[in-house]
């Protein structure tokens, strides 16, 4: 779509005024939408059964703030587990070894096909299958063991369940990022005498990260909200603590609003960080199309803009 900036001139040389078109449909749709949203907001804000004073009182309650901190901890630790295991699964999925490929495929299929809440409950009740966790030297009695009930707390079960589940999804993201790297890069690495491990470490992964990292922000934002499922295993997260409070004072809606406010705040911060990350890793690609910024042009280091229609491989 192009926009005309030059004025219209008639035969006498006078400028013809352009009348702006009034879009009745757009104004009507926007007005009705605002009225509906305002009406719904008014019903909630002025609801006599909702005590906003209690919402404010519990917003910075010690138990709520403790739950927020645990939610952040679970989100970060589960994301780290998911990222590390996801990269390993992606490499296994792309390996030439059929056994490794099959194991990776089975893992991804199993964890993507099983509801997350089932996985959380499974890990929390692992003691029914294994009362003790044993780590010992094979064919000997030398080793250590732990009581599973002491190890698999709500926090541990949440971190493990969320991390293992995220790994299954993240593995597909990493695999797509690796496969997006041009095959010529691989051939060049082999021509330089690199081993497959060196090729992956020095050539493929650094380039794939530009594609992988932005979606990783989405995974973390999703993880922040998914931690609310930890409620079923009493992981002392935000939702668990909020539910424990409203079970004692029956202020269900007030505590749900408090929990929602904290989730939205954490999501907003994570979204801002994700936008910074995307800007950082997409900056080079944007500069190739648009050319350098004002600072670069002043320094005489501007990157020449790519002609329209020129492909990446040209």
pLDDT digits (tens, 9 = 90+) for 231-245: 888 888 899 999 999
The span from the CA of 299 to the CA of 41, in Å, is: 53
Average pLDDT over residues 80-90: 91
Q: What is the pLDDT of residue 10?
A: 75
Per the CB < 8 A criterion, the answer to whether 215 and 282 are in contact is no
Assign 3-state DSSP to the chain and report helix, strand, coil percentages, each to 5. 70, 5, 25
Average pLDDT (64-79) is 93
> What pLDDT digit, counting tens, does each position of 153-173 carry?
888 999 999 999 999 998 988
Helix (H) or strand (E) holding 256: helix 252-290
Could you tell me if 93 and 85 are in contact, meaning their C-beta atoms sit under 8 angstroms apart? no
How far is it, in rounded angstroms, from Cα 123 to Cα 46?
A: 43
Q: Is the predicted pLDDT of residue 264 greater than 80, yes or no?
A: yes
Model confidence band, residue 138 (pLDDT cutoffs 50, 70, 90): confident
Query: Residues 6 or more apart from 124 whose CB is under 8 A from it?
Result: 152, 154, 157, 232, 233
pLDDT of 302 higher than 80: no
Name the pLDDT band for 3 (thresholds 50, 70, 90). Answer: low
Q: Please check whether residue 219 is in contact with residue 79, taking contact to mean a CB–CB distance below 8 angstroms.
A: yes
Q: What is the mean pLDDT of the chain?
A: 82
Q: What is the CA radius of gyration of the chain?
A: 28
d(CA 133, CA 92): 27
Q: Bridge-partner residues for 8, per DSSP?
A: 16
> What residues contact residue 249 under an 8 Å CB cut-off, 6+ apart?
none
What's the confidence (pLDDT) of residue 135? 80
Task: Locate 195 and state its tokens.
Answer: 């081993």
User: How far apart, in whole angstroms, are the C-alpha atoms of residue 242 and residue 281?
Assistant: 38
**Helix (H/G/I), strand (E/B), else coil: 133:** strand
**The two structure tokens encoding residue 171:** 């593995």
More confident residue, 141 or 65: 65
The CATH number that domain 76-235 falls under is 1.10.3720.10
pLDDT category at 295 given cuts 50, 70, 90 is very low
Residue range 163-185: average pLDDT? 87
d(Cα 211, Cα 206) in Å, to the nearest integer? 10
| Residue boundaries of the structural domains of the chain | 76-235
């Amino acid at each position: 779509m192009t926009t005309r900036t030059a004025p219209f001139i008639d035969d006498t040389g006078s400028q013809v005024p352009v009348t702006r078109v009034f879009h009745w449909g757009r104004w009507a749709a926007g007005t009705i939408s605002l009225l509906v949203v305002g009406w719904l907001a008014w019903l909630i804000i002025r609801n006599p059964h909702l005590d906003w004073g209690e919402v404010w009182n519990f917003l910075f309650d010690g138990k709520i703030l403790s739950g927020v901190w645990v939610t952040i901890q679970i989100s970060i630790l589960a994301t780290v587990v998911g990222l590390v295991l996801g990269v390993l699964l992606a490499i296994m999925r792309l390996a030439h070894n059929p056994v490794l490929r099959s194991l990776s495929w089975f893992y991804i299929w199993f964890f993507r096909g099983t509801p997350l809440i089932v996985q959380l409950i499974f890990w929390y009740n692992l003691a029914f299958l294994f009362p003790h966790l044993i780590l010992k030297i094979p064919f000997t009695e030398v080793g250590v063991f732990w009581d599973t009930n002491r190890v698999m707390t709500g926090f541990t079960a949440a971190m493990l369940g969320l991390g293992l589940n995220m790994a299954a999804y993240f593995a597909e993201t990493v695999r797509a990022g690796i496969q997006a790297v041009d095959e010529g890069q691989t051939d060049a690495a082999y021509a330089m005498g690199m081993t497959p491990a060196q090729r992956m470490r020095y050539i493929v992964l650094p380039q794939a990260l530009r594609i992988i990292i932005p979606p990783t922000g989405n995974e973390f934002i999703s993880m922040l909200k998914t931690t609310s499922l930890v409620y079923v295993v009493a992981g002392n997260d935000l939702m668990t603590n909020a539910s424990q409070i409203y079970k004692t004072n029956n202020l269900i809606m007030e505590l749900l609003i408090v929990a929602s406010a904290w989730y939205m705040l954490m999501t907003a911060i994570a979204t801002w960080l994700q936008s910074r990350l995307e800007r950082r890793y997409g900056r080079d690609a944007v500069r190739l199309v648009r050319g350098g910024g004002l600072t670069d042009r002043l320094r005489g280091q501007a990157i020449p803009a790519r002609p329209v229609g020129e492909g990446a491989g040209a």
